[in-house]
Amino acid sequence: MTGDETLLEDLLAGEHRALARVISKIENRAPGYRELVSALYAHAGDADVIGVTGSPGAGKSTLVDKLAETYRERGETVGVIAIDPSSPFTGGAVLGDRIRMASTVGDMDVFVRSMSARGTLGGLSTATADAVKAMDAFGKDKVIIETVGAGQNEIDIVRTADTVAVLVPPGSGDDIQTLKAGILEIGDVFVVNKADRDGADRTVQELREMIHLGEGSGFGSGHHGADEITDHHPDWDGPDETDGDTAEVAADWSPPIVETVATTATGIDDLIDEFTAHQTYLVDSGTHAAMARQRYAEEIRTLLREDVHAILEDELERVGGIDDLADAVRAGETDPYTIADELLEPVEACVSELGTDSAGTE
């Protein structure tokens, strides 16, 4: 048995050290990580994946801490992936293992892992989705992803989370209008945290008005709205017979607004109840199946892009490197389009030949 096979067995047996090692291997893209992740798929699919996003200072880390603590009190195990800003020197997470999440320290059934944003839009990378898969296969009941809170680019979180909670600090005022075109549109649940502060009532009212005005136009139906699915994946022609009419039922979900004070755990139980209601809705409406299809389609595309990019980088090195080719363009000897065509020609020929061989064996 190889070391990776032993590592996988240890993870599936519930050893947290093995889970940590697998996630490190995933994040570092170490040799053998793809085979590990591939093997995880057969054991994943049971965890509820919750995304928590919002502007910096909204209290995301404290809220996630209280969510984890409350889930544990209910007898459920929790995995937390905290996406931190990347270090400009090492590419690693700046904040380490989140000292702000203090309530669950020492509880091994709450596994907290910080991961570097690595410059990816929304602070999420392919490695994050793979880490979620590892926690899911490990057996965590809930996997919570907390993002860096970088603004509208946070929409990337929808590719990984089933339920997205958007935190809005009280008294946001014009900030809500600014966010409306981006981050607010992906919210399945809105959370006005620090609700004991002045301006909380006004913020709740503004959110409620936006949801009401946006109903029927895509805004207010969360990140699983019909437009979201078809816009990102135009090749998807709607739900099949087993999914139900997802395009219609997606609009049936109206995002609730929950007021919380994370520092005292006020409103946390209500928030968890709304998460549960949304997860039930996803399954009952058939939306969950459509989202899974969408997510896997995007994963396939992402892997293909990465692999083709790696193949072309190798091809560039074979013909002398990108600098020599750039010099040739500068000297007027050729142009970027001709170079791209020449580099792609052998790749296209191989793919075409493979397709011909496959057709011939049928």
Task: Break the chain into its structural domains and give their ranges.
Answer: 1-43, 45-290, 319-361
Walk across the sheet containing 48-54 and list its strands. Answer: 110-116, 78-84, 142-146, 48-54, 163-167, 189-192, 257-259
Q: What global pTM score does this model have? A: 0.81
Comparing CA positions, the residue from 172, 141, 204 lying closest to residue 54 is 172
Q: How far apart are CA 201 and CA 27, in angstroms?
A: 41
Which residues in the chain show pLDDT less than 50? Answer: 87-100, 121-123, 152, 226-250
pLDDT, one tens digit per residue, over 25-58 is: 998 889 999 999 999 999 999 999 999 988 777 8
Residue 111's DSSP bridge partners are 79
Q: How far apart are CA 284 and CA 281, in angstroms?
A: 5
Q: How far apart are CA 280 and CA 274, in angstroms?
A: 10
Task: Scan for tokens 């929808």, then name that residue.
Answer: 158
Q: Which CATH architecture has domain 45-290?
A: 3-Layer(aba) Sandwich (3.40)
pLDDT, one tens digit per residue, over 160-172 is: 899 999 988 887 5
